[in-house]
Amino acid sequence: MGQPVSKIRAAKLELYRKQGKIHAKAVSGRFNSLRWLCVGLTQIIFYGACWLNWPANGQLRQAVHFDIAHEKLYLFGLVLWPQDALLLALVLLIAATGLFLTTALAGRLFCGFLCPQTVYTSMFTWIEARVEGDHLARLQLDRGPLTLNKIVRKTLKHVLWAALAAWTAITFVGYFTPIRELLPTLADWQVGPWEAFWLIFYAAFTYVQAGLAREAVCQHMCPYSRFQGVMFDPATRSVAYDSKRGEPRSSQRRSSPAGDCIDCGICVEVCPTGIDIRDGLQYACINCGLCIDACDQVMTRIGAPTGLIRFASENELAAMPRQAWFRRPRVIAYAALLLVFAFLGGWTVSRHAELRFDVLRDRGVLARETADGQVENAYTLQVMNLTEEAQEFAVAVVGDGKLQIVGPNTVSAAPGSIAPLQVTVAAPAGALPAGTHALRFHVFSPAQPALHAEEASTFRMPEATGR
Ligand code: SF4
Ligand code: SF4
């Protein structure tokens, strides 16, 4: 006599959930397709963008290049310098608040579809399935004795994994050392020590994280899974099992009373992190939706409505009325922060210029009177040359001619550097009333009229002289 079906299913569940490595069953469906679409799009960008060139100064250069040696970041036509750190900080803040807002609205969508850990694990698992077979074949192979077939398949899998990890590392380093320069040095074993270190480190990192650690990263290492709950509210939609509809679960559907869950365990078999969504919201759930695909197929097969597992909020499952977004403090807070950071980012980009300068007044002596009856104020101009060539800049005072620069008024600045320029501004004593007067400095390149900038400052006319 064989075992009852329910016992076999329970044993099968243990097999997938507790013992050793998780070999998830492949499943087709809309969420699986969406996942692969995300893998395709992100990897076309990652593996492809380093090969794009961009015209600059009559030459082609790599369109996306983090030039650490020269402290520059090339993003197509944009060149960012360390002075643009604010813009980079804003981009990070926009990404973080965007992630928080998405999580508050729809749970861990990023984890399930865009997180590099998920994306690379999907790619590594795909290779594993091509070499070792479906999830049952892989389980059998893992548990079986060491045969020639096992050695060949395992070796081939690890070789392919290593090749993918190596190409990923080469691509990653190719964003820092132009990839067209990196590849010939690699072929000749002539890479520098830093490139060698990052190539080895990143290849090993990818191999271990996506090939060996896989779901353990999401379950035990990722801090985001631990604090995601803070962003949730009762209206947050995430992958959930409708226990009102599904329970009591029973493999004997005709038994009464019975919910729609036939306890087939397929939702657990397809889960890449090996959890049972019917146990409720869990930090290990990456919201990939594969259990939705699996359960929808089961429901269709038994003639029940789909959606026993679906994206639903706590309120929705409890049949409570929908909560409008403007009644959700977290959503409002994250959306407001996102808008503020996006506005600041746009403003910073609109002000991005290749020539900038700051004006510092001489704090020691606000104003001094000279023997020839002039009043002088001293300033230091910190002139930033954010072009890629050395520049000669000149400075003038904007105004009605009463204020004049005396002494040196030009400065040379190397590409991407800040050059200090000591400037003295003078006015005849009595030409202006005593007090503080607004003044504007105009810095420009005589050779390139398009390069110019203005900054405001003040000129101090002392009491005794102004009378
Ligand atoms: S796939 Fe659906 S029917 Fe099967 S065990 Fe999971 S929830 Fe129940
Ligand atoms: S429970 Fe469902 S959504 Fe969550 S990780 Fe597993 S398969 Fe993905």
Ligand 2, residues 218, 267, 275, 296: which to mutate, most atoms within 8 A of Cβ? 275
Distance, in Å, from the CA atom of 221 to the CA atom of 98, rounded to the nearest integer, reads 22
User: Is the minimum distance from the CB of 287 to ligand 2 under 6 angstroms?
Assistant: yes
Q: Which atom of ligand 1 is nearest to the CA of 278?
A: 7
pLDDT in tens, 196-224: 999 999 999 999 999 999 988 888 888 88
Q: How far does residue 361's CA lie from ligand 2's centre (Å)?
A: 61
Q: Is 271 in the pocket of ligand 2 (CB under 6 A)?
A: yes
Whether 295 is in the pocket of ligand 1, judged by its Cβ within 6 Å, is yes
Ligand 2 atom nearest the C-alpha of 290 is 7
Does the beta carbon of 231 lie inside 6 Å of ligand 1? no
- What percent of the chain is helix, strand and coil (3-state, nearest 5)? 45, 20, 35
CB 187 within 8 A of CB 246: no
Residues 323/234, Cβ–Cβ less than 8 Å: yes
Give the model confidence (pLDDT) of 5-22 as tens digits: 444 444 444 444 445 688
Whose alpha carbon is nearest atom 8 of ligand 2? 288
- CA 217–ligand 2 middle distance (angstroms): 15
164 lines ligand 2 (CB under 6 A): no
Q: What is the pLDDT of residues 279-338, one digit of tens each?
A: 988 888 999 999 999 999 999 999 999 999 999 998 888 888 877 777 888 999 999 999
Q: What is the pLDDT of residue 467?
A: 43
| Extended beta strands in 107-235, E state | none
- Tens of pLDDT, residue by residue, the chain (467 residues): 334 444 444 444 444 444 568 899 999 999 999 999 999 999 999 999 999 999 877 789 999 999 988 888 999 988 888 878 888 899 999 999 999 999 998 888 899 999 999 999 999 999 999 999 999 999 999 999 999 999 999 999 999 999 999 999 999 999 999 999 999 999 888 888 999 999 999 999 999 999 999 988 888 888 887 777 788 888 888 999 999 999 888 877 655 677 899 999 999 999 999 899 999 888 889 999 999 999 999 999 999 999 999 999 988 888 888 777 778 889 999 999 999 999 999 998 887 788 989 999 887 777 888 888 899 999 999 998 888 788 999 999 987 788 999 988 999 998 878 899 999 999 998 888 888 999 999 999 999 888 999 999 999 988 864 44
Which CATH superfamily, name and number, covers 355-466? Immunoglobulins (2.60.40.10)
Return the half-sphere exposure (C-beta side, CA atoms, 13 A cut-off) of residue 248. 9
| Residue in the block written with tokens 């002539």 | 190
Ligand 1 center from residue 309 Cα (angstroms): 8
Cα 315 from Cα 330, distance rounded (Å): 16
Amino acid 249: pLDDT: 87
- Kindly give, in sequence order, each residue whose CB lies less than 8 Å from that of residue 225, ignoring residues fewer than 6 positions away: 108, 111, 218, 219, 283, 284, 286
What lies within 8 Å, CB to CB, of 76 at 6+ separation is: 54, 63, 64
